[in-house]
Amino acid sequence: MTKQFGMPPPGDMRRCLTTLACDGALARRFEERAALEAGGALRCVGNLALLGAYVRLGSLQLAADWAARLLRCWGRVVPAAAAAGRLVVYDRGAGTLHGETTVAARGARVMAVAVHDIERSHALAHEAIAAADVLLLGPGSFVTSTLAAVTTGQIAQHIVTSRARKVLIHNLAPEPGQLTELEVQDYVRLLRDHLGIHHYNGAPDADNMPLTVLCHRDAPAAETTLLRQPAPPHGTTMVYAPLALETARSRHHPQRLALALARLLSLDPCVQAPTRYPAGGGARGAAEPDDAAAAALRRADFERHLRCGEALVKGASTALAPRDAASPQAVPSKAASRRNTTR
C-alpha cells in the first residue's frame, strides 16, 4: 500500500479504531483476514477498506475519521504523520535495516530507531498530546509501533514537554525473534534514549521525565492491589498488577488492564464497552443510539470502500463514484448542529 499508493502503513491506526469502536460486529469484520484470490496472501479487511477511503478522500486523517464514524468510535484516531515515512533501525547483529517488514523479520537486537522522510509530524497529534491528561505508550510492537511513533517528526519533543502523565504499558512477552534478551528496565532505557535523541529546542532532559511502567505480576484473579516500586533512572516508577489472560499468558486481559489503569489513574473503573457513542463520530457530546437503518447504511458504505481497496490492490483501474446520500458522511447527525464545548 505504501509503495503503490503512498499510504502510511494502516495497521496501528486500524487497531486503534477497532479498540474504540462501539459497533463490535463491524470492528470484528475490520480485523478479519482474507485472500483476494485463490491461494493468494491473506490481507486485513480493514486495511483494504482504509485504503479505499484514503484514495477516495485524499488523506489518512479523513480516512481515519470516515472509519471512526463507520465504527461509531468513542474517540478520535490521529496518525503521527500525514504522509508515509521510512522506518530505519540499527540492529547490533544485522546492521542497518529498512522497512517495517524487514525490521520485524530480522531486527533481533535493535539499538536505534528512526523514521526518515518525515519533516513534520501531524499538527493534530501535537495538539492531542498537549491537551492530554494521560499519555499511554503501548502495548504493541515496541520497535515498529511504539518507538516508530515516538521518533516520527516532533512527536518525541511534544511527549517530553507535555504535562500529561506518561504510562508505558509493558508487553507481556517479547515478539518472536525481537528483543528477546531484554529485561523491562532495558525497554525503559530504550524508550528514554529515543525520547532524548529526538527532542530538541530546549526541551527538558528525557531522563528526568516522570514515567510510570505498568507490568504484569502473577496473582489471583480477584487481586486488584497495585505494587509500586521506584526504579532507575530517576523519575521511573514500576507498577505491578495481574494483567494477563489465564488462557494466553502473552496477551493482556482487557478487563484486568482496564481496572489496573483505573486504579493507577484514580478513575472510576468501566470494564464494559459503551453501547452509545458520542455524536459526531468521536467528538465528545450527547450520545446517540444506533438503529437498524443507520447500521445498514454504514455497512453498505464499508463494503463499497472494501471493494474499492480490493480493486486497487489487484491493479484494476476503478473509477470511484461520487459520494451518494447513503454514505454515513451525508447522513446528518442528530447533534450535528450542536456546538460542542466539552473537552
Last residue of a domain, one of 252, 273, 294: 273
Averaged pLDDT for residues 236-260: 92
DSSP character at residue 208: G
Query: What is the pLDDT, as a whole number, of residue 249?
Result: 87
Beta pairing class for 227-231 and 236-241: antiparallel
Which residues constitute the domain of residue 312?
1-74+284-338
pLDDT digits (tens, 9 = 90+) for 91-117: 998 999 998 888 888 888 889 999 999
Q: What are phi and psi of 219, to 5 degrees?
A: -165, 160
Where does the pLDDT of residue 334 fall: very low under 50, low under 70, confident under 90, or very high at 90 and above? very low
pLDDT digits (tens, 9 = 90+) for 275-322: 555 544 444 433 455 678 888 899 999 999 999 998 988 884 343 444
Report the C-alpha gap between 254 and 282 in whole angstroms. 21
Where does the pLDDT of residue 270 fall: very low under 50, low under 70, confident under 90, or very high at 90 and above? low
Highest mean pLDDT among 168-172, 245-249, 310-314: 168-172
Where does the pLDDT of residue 132 fall: very low under 50, low under 70, confident under 90, or very high at 90 and above? very high
Q: Whose grid coordinates read 530504550?
A: 190
What the block records as the C-alpha cell of 107 is 531486527
Residue 185 has pLDDT above 80, yes or no: yes
The CA-atom distances, in angstroms, between 121 and each of 81, 83, 115, 333 are: 5, 9, 11, 31
Averaged pLDDT for residues 61-78: 95
DSSP character at residue 328: G
Domain count, the chain: 2
Last residue of a domain, one of 273, 302, 319: 273
Report the C-alpha gap between 89 and 107 in whole angstroms. 8
Query: What is the pLDDT, as a whole number, of residue 62?
Result: 96
Report the C-alpha gap between 218 and 76 in whole angstroms. 34
Q: What is the dihedral of CA 16, 17, 18, 24, to 10 degrees?
A: 150
- Assess whether 131 and 260 both reside in one domain: yes
Report the C-alpha gap between 86 and 102 in whole angstroms. 12
What the block records as the C-alpha cell of 13 is 491506526
Residue 245 has pLDDT above 60, yes or no: yes
Residues 6+ apart with CB under 8 A from 54: 5, 7, 10, 60, 62, 63
- Assess whether 147 and 254 both reside in one domain: yes
Where does the pLDDT of residue 328 fall: very low under 50, low under 70, confident under 90, or very high at 90 and above? very low
pLDDT digits (tens, 9 = 90+) for 207-240: 889 999 999 999 887 787 899 999 887 899 999 9
What the block records as the C-alpha cell of 178 is 525481537
- Assess whether 141 and 180 both reside in one domain: yes
The CA-atom distances, in angstroms, between 12 and each of 51, 142, 144, 162, 164 are: 14, 12, 10, 23, 22
To the nearest 5 percent, what fractions of the chain are helix, strand and coil?
40, 15, 45
- Assess whether 38 and 163 both reside in one domain: no
Residue 200 has pLDDT above 70, yes or no: no
Does 244 fall in a domain? yes
Q: 2-5: list long-range contacts, CB under 8 Å, 24+ apart.
A: 2/84, 4/312, 4/313, 5/51, 5/54, 5/55, 5/312
Query: What is the pLDDT, as a whole number, of residue 294?
Result: 86
Q: What is the DSSP string of 220-273?
A: -TT--PPEEEEETTTTEEEEEE--B-SS-TTSB-HHHHHHHHHHHTT-----S-
Report the C-alpha gap between 343 and 331 in whole angstroms. 25
- Assess whether 129 and 269 both reside in one domain: yes
Last residue of a domain, one of 246, 273, 300: 273
- Assess whether 160 and 235 both reside in one domain: yes
Query: What is the pLDDT, as a whole number, of residue 116?
Result: 94
Averaged pLDDT for residues 317-338: 39
- Assess whether 224 and 330 both reside in one domain: no
Give the percent of the chain with pLDDT over 90.
56
pLDDT digits (tens, 9 = 90+) for 38-64: 666 778 999 999 999 999 999 999 999
- Assess whether 257 and 160 both reside in one domain: yes
Mean pLDDT of the chain: 83
- Assess whether 146 and 259 both reside in one domain: yes
Does 91 fall in a domain? no
Count of alpha carbons within 13 angstroms of residue 124, beta-carbon side: 12
Does 176 fall in a domain? yes
Helix (H, G, I), strand (E, B) or coil at 24: helix
Report the C-alpha gap between 40 and 276 in whole angstroms. 38
- Assess whether 136 and 238 both reside in one domain: yes
The whole-model pTM stands at 0.82
Report the C-alpha gap between 62 and 82 in whole angstroms. 10
Query: What is the pLDDT, as a whole number, of residue 302?
Result: 92
Side chain identity, residue 118: I
Task: Identify which of 213, 214, 146 has the alpha carbon closest to the alpha carbon of residue 175.
Answer: 146
Task: Identify which of 210, 193, 123 has the alpha carbon closest to the alpha carbon of residue 151.
Answer: 193
Query: What is the pLDDT, as a whole number, of residue 227?
Result: 94
Q: Minimum mean pLDDT among 36-50, 77-91, 121-135: which range?
A: 36-50
Does 104 fall in a domain? no
Task: Identify which of 231, 150, 237, 234 has the alpha carbon closest to the alpha carbon of residue 197.
Answer: 150
Query: What is the pLDDT, as a whole number, of residue 39?
Result: 62
